[in-house]
Amino acid sequence: MHELRLLQDPIPRTDLMRLIIAPRSRMGFFAAFHYIWEMLGRVDERWARQVTFPDEQDTNLWPELFHSDPTNVEPPGGRVFEARLGDFKRYSQAPSDLYRQDGEPSVRLHSYLAAKQGESAERYPTGRRFQQRFKDQRARTSMYLAVSRVIRPSKTVISECANFSLAEFSNSYTLGVHLRSARHIGVNLPSRRYIREWVIPEIEGALVSQSQPDGRVFIASDVSEYVELCRGHFGDRMAVRAIPRVTHAWEDWYQVGSTRLDLSRNVLIDALLLAKCNFVMGIPSNVLSAVLIFNPHNDFKIFDFALERSEGQAVFPRPFSADKNSNTRKHW
């Protein structure tokens, strides 16, 4: 895997840009992460960068997850410019030398993935468009370099990834699957049928197409029933981390009950491990976007059933947890 290496710059930094993230309780870690690297990537190298990402107790999570550049402390006598998530579009008072002067530093993920006018009324790209965009090797490499310029995982995170991959991946061919809840693309099926009839055949087909029919499968998912259904099929060929998950596919990730730090650390490590796999599969998501940026060279495939769908498309209502006796609940 291409590691995210913090690119050192010999230019002395005299000023500080502080990016303050105040994530909504239901904002996923990578939803914020993609905005963070896009914003940091636009800052001129002469400015030191500092990120504040508070948890429920207002403790900054960023230094727990990412390498702290020793130059990101407030320079004595220097200027300090504070920005908040999403503010760069509106910050007319930003110093004129805050932004990089060497043109566009990288492909901007959100605008790059957005559906073209007239293509789709959906807010998010279809699986087909997502796949087409990330097949662009130059764009992925550009985004990888932009992230590496400003962000690198902490030693603790890197160590945990290395230990797991050494124990579970070894020298085996490994296909990584980001198994997100099907409800995000409006697939309303019982989990057993969804995994056995839709997901597993595509995974097996991908392994055959890669001439690796007995290859290992790494599953990254926040839904435990998906994990167990896959384990029942793949057995010892499957690798998965022992982390807290929601039980059912209709539950949201933030219902796990873990702290924001643990949730953020787990999804970051899962994404880095997926990036270490030989081949990656999934449905479009912020997590999968990060995986394909972290390693711009591994091949990937969007599940066939997700190619013509987009996030938020016909997502079914959630009456299941409200009424334990509901017949609809039995579909799961």
Length of the chain: 332
Q: Cβ(48)–Cβ(15) under 8 Å?
A: yes
- Could you give the CA distance from residue 66 to residue 85 in angstroms, rounded to a whole number? 18
Q: What is the pLDDT of residue 14?
A: 78
- Could you give the CA distance from residue 212 to residue 327 in angstroms, rounded to a whole number? 41
Residue-by-residue DSSP string for 149-199: HH--B-HHHHHHHHHHHHHHTTTS-EEEEE---GGGGT----HHHIIIIII
Q: What is the pLDDT of residue 329?
A: 26
Q: Cβ(50)–Cβ(66) under 8 Å?
A: no
C-alpha closest to that of 182 among 285, 266, 269: 285
C-alpha closest to that of 293 among 162, 100, 149: 149
Q: What is the dihedral of CA 140, 296, 268, 166, to 10 degrees?
A: 180
Count helices and strands (H / E) in the chain.
11, 8
115: which DSSP letter?
Answer: P
Residuewise pLDDT in 10s, the chain (332 residues): 556 655 555 566 778 888 888 766 677 889 889 888 888 888 888 888 888 888 878 888 899 999 866 555 566 678 888 888 766 555 567 888 888 776 555 667 877 777 554 454 446 778 898 999 999 999 899 899 889 888 889 999 999 999 999 999 888 899 999 998 888 888 888 999 999 999 999 999 999 999 999 999 999 999 999 999 999 999 999 999 999 888 877 777 667 777 888 999 999 999 999 999 999 999 999 999 999 999 999 999 999 988 888 776 533 333 223 333 333 222 22
pTM above 0.75, yes or no: yes
Q: What is the pLDDT of residue 326?
A: 31
